[in-house]
Structure 1
Amino acid sequence: MTNTTENELFDYSPIVDRPPLHWPGGAKVAAYVGLNVEHFLIDRPSTSIWPGTADLVPDALNYGWRDYGPRVGIWRTMASLDRHGIRASVLLNSDVTRHYPQIIEAGRKRNWAWLAHGRTNSILHTDMPRDEERRVLTDIIDTIADATGRRPRGWMGPGLTETFNTPALLAELGLDYILDWTNDDQPYALKVPGMISVPYTVELNDLMLFGKGFTGPEFVQIVQDQYEQLRADSEDGGRVMALALHPFVTGQPFRHKYLDQALAYLAAQPDIWLTTSDDIAEHYHRTLEAHQQA
């Protein structure tokens, strides 16, 4: 895969032209919580709540806001996930394993699914020669596997970034799905053999929604609206609902009860398969194999 003006990673496939997609147990919507567990460098600008200090070193205001996530917010979020019996699909910076081992241990006890999410969210995954990128990806994946006891199957780049070589290199390293291309309500095959795209979201995403000024009650309503529409659409085939969370956002005290209400709503739906991105990917791979053998 090389730099090109044409998209060579996947074909256009209108959702109305596909065979019906069936989820286990007759579920209509497969839903997962994409929990971003990230490490940020103290001397690099990154996601900020206040741009006025973002270029300072150190930037105590914005770094502290982000650092609330691993120190406090994730433990509050974890309690809510536990309360509703939800396994997280963790988008994990490999640097987290060194800096916050208590989070890794807590996730292992909960049998979380672990996805590779770059080294740190302060550095985007871009502008690398192929051999250098292979070394970087190998280090990220091996570090996560060593710390969690489970080799990741999925990838989401920091800031949803890739190079043109990333999907093929990930396939070489044994991964079989990516979340970076947020362009569908169903998984679909990429042109890289053995690699698929699983839906993620930059819309139903706490960082984006609360960053735009939405309130807690509006967040709950948006989660409900998303599910209801996908459930209605599923008459033509199963859909995927991703809920993207950042512990320094929905882990804030005044937002927590609204996250809990949203998770309670999802857990109560009779037609939902509340699962992980790993299990969604595995089921879709089996579906593709069945179609190829038919």
Structure 2
Amino acid sequence: MSEVSTAPQHHDRFDYSAIIDRPPLRWPGGARVAVWIVPNVEHFLFDRPSSSITQLTAGFVPDVLNYSWRDFGARVGIWRLMEVMEKYGVKGTVALNSDVCEHYPRIIEAGKALGWEWMGHGTNNSTMINGQPEEEERQIVRTVIETIERSAGKKPRGWLSPGLTESHRSLDLLAEAGIEYVANWVNDEQPYPMRVKSGSILSLPYSVEINDFAAFLEQGQSGEAFAQTIRDQFDVLYEDGAQTGRVMAICLHPFLIGHPHRSKHFASALAHITSRREVWLATGGEIADWYKRNYLKN
């Protein structure tokens, strides 16, 4: 006999909601689109495989080729990304591995000076959230929150798991710890509330398509093609946003977008977005605050 799964076949985190049936959503100043940019600032352990530019050495320990390729993001790529975003007046909402606070405090210092926001992103990007016992997962969440608060000076309000991974209890544990919004669920163009055992938590639109990881590593796009994808996404959302407001997430990794041959095209995409008037360049916390204040029943 086959083993019977004890995992639920359906979740009860939210009800189905067709976007065409919802009341119109309006952003501050009549903006059609709220654009938030999410740099994933990460630390990788030296003794295990992770994101790779080539599979040639991916099974080696240590895998110096791929590890050092990722390490480019913390040493060079993040600084180029900060420069481009500052030029166009965009603040990042960083998905931050808490290990970054220990290993690359200079990045935290610079992000604070720019007024960037910090989301929890696990301890490092070599540890996914899924198979841990409940108390171990609770401790991971607690450690991430406390470490970021101690380093950045503010408690993270949002959360994006490494690899967007969750257990069946993750949302409950995040809400229990005071996390206000989560970006793991990529199923909408507007925020929506999720059911949790205690407290509350909001889902903010994130993207696995307007995301340099999928674009470059899985789809083989060029920097120019990715920039055009960003422009195309924005143009349609801007048109749709005339009827009801939309959220556009641009999801980036400094070890990818931070290379010169890609960053120049990302800059051109930001120039396109910021040339429009009815756009709200927001952080995750700002989007969550506006939505909760104006669209959630008390």
TM over 0.5: yes
d(CA) in 2 for partners of 1:288, 1:23: 11
Q: Give the match for residue 232 of structure 2.
A: 225
Q: Shift of residue 213 of structure 1? A: 1.8
CA shift digits 1:56-91 (9 cap, x unpaired): 111011101100000011111111111111110100
Is the CA contact (8 Å cut-off) linking 2:224 and 2:262 kept in structure 1?
no
2:192 paired with 1:185: no
2:264 paired with 1:257: yes
How many residues end up aligned between the 2 structures? Answer: 290
Letter in 2 for 1:220: A
Q: Shift of residue 152 of structure 1? A: 0.5
Q: Secondary structure at the match of 2:162?
A: coil
Q: Give the match for residue 207 of structure 2.
A: 201
CA shift digits 1:253-283 (9 cap, x unpaired): 2112111111121222111101111111111
Q: Shift of residue 235 of structure 1? A: 2.9
Q: 1:1-294 residue pairs with structure 2 within 5 A?
A: 3-192=7-196, 193-211=199-217, 212-289=219-296, 292=297
Q: What's the Cα RMSD here?
A: 1.2
Q: Secondary structure at the match of 1:61?
A: helix
Q: TM-score, normalised by structure 1?
A: 0.96
Letter in 2 for 1:94: S
Letter in 2 for 1:21: L
Is the CA contact (8 Å cut-off) linking 2:190 and 2:245 kept in structure 1?
yes
Q: TM-score, normalised by structure 2?
A: 0.94
Task: Extract structure 1 runs of 4+ deviating beyond 3 A.
Answer: none
d(CA) in 2 for partners of 1:133, 1:124: 10
d(CA) in 2 for partners of 1:9, 1:45: 33
Letter in 1 for 2:140: V
Letter in 2 for 1:276: T
CA shift digits 1:164-197 (9 cap, x unpaired): 1111111111111100000110111111242110
Deviates more, 1:91-100 or 1:120-129: 120-129
CA shift digits 1:24-43 (9 cap, x unpaired): 01000000110010000111
Q: Secondary structure at the match of 1:30?
A: strand
